[in-house]
Amino acid sequence: MNKRSVTLTLAALLVLLTALNRATAQETKVTWFGHAAFSITTPKGKILLIDPWLRNPANPEVKAGKDPLAAISKVDYILLTHGHRDHVGDAVEIARKTGAALIANPELGGNLVKLVDFPAKQAGNYIMQAGGEIQIADGEVTVAMTEAVHSSSVFNPKAGPNEPERAYGGSPAGFVIMIKNGPTIYHSGDTAYFKDMEVIGETYSIDVALINISQMGAKMAARAAQSLRAKTVVPMHFATFEGLLPTADGFAAEVKKLRIGFHEMKPGETISFRGSQLVLR
Ligand SMILES: [Zn+2]
Ligand SMILES: [Zn+2]
């Protein structure tokens, strides 16, 4: 190879690397930590955590005897669907460590500050209710809170004669998260199936729905997938502890009958989206 062709080859390589880099930069990454805990990394690098019970027994880090919080250094937003312990999880510790802002309903936010010392200055700016939509991450992300049929309370460590064991957690919720140059993601929280999921499906163009299959059961969870008109469904909130569905097999069979895209993530797995498109490697 002469000097000129070496230069040309190098130039071509550089163009290819730049293109690859640009493609990666435009990616949205979604990681499942097991149970209902997911992180979303936007194309611009903002990190959202939903229902961050990272120390759940299904998390491979926990199984390996490591503390999953040790690797967490940057989180911009923590979204909580409701106050139950398997969803609030490690939110307080993560908020303290990262300065992340809370996105939740006012009663849940208020009681987390009052009862479990969630940092108050990180809990006031993004308070919302079902039906509300907010823009975060300098407009890169829009979050809509949707209703959920469930209950919501905050475990009260200060319980005693004058303090209830469970404090009010406001209305439980789900989220639709719309990412600029990325996918629209629905997180069901702990809801049972409700027919107005059809309205969510009509209102938003959901690329991936993270569906709690234990709360709905396989058949109704598949009906939820259909109502939501999701392009791809990912089952969650199963096999973490006893009493939940042990596998997603029943759900997989039901959604396949309905010809809905299905992807079962493994705890610890990350999936990527190029634009709104799921990239299966
Ligand atoms: Zn719950
Ligand atoms: Zn739950």
Ligand nearest to the CA of 214: 2
Model pTM score: 0.91
More confident residue, 15 or 139: 139
Question: Ligand 1 centroid to 97 CA: how many Å?
Answer: 25
Whether residue 75 has pLDDT greater than 70: yes
Ligand nearest to the CA of 83: 1
Question: d(Cα 74, Cα 195) in Å, to the nearest integer?
Answer: 37
Residue 60: count of CB within 10 angstroms of its CB? 14
Whether residue 239 has pLDDT greater than 80: yes
Question: d(Cα 52, Cα 105) in Å, to the nearest integer?
Answer: 16
Question: Ligand 2 centroid to 25 CA: how many Å?
Answer: 33
Q: What average pLDDT does the segment 47-55 reach?
A: 98
Give tens-digit pLDDT for 141-162.
Answer: 999 999 999 999 999 998 999 8
pLDDT tier at 17, thresholds 50, 70, 90: low
Whether residue 23 has pLDDT greater than 60: no
Question: Ligand 2 centroid to 115 CA: how many Å?
Answer: 20
Lowest-confidence region among 1-10, 101-110, 236-245? 1-10
Give me the pLDDT at residue 26, please. Answer: 83
CA angle 8, 11, 17 (to 5 degrees): 140
Ligand nearest to the CA of 86: 2
Ligand nearest to the CA of 152: 1
Whether residue 12 has pLDDT greater than 80: no
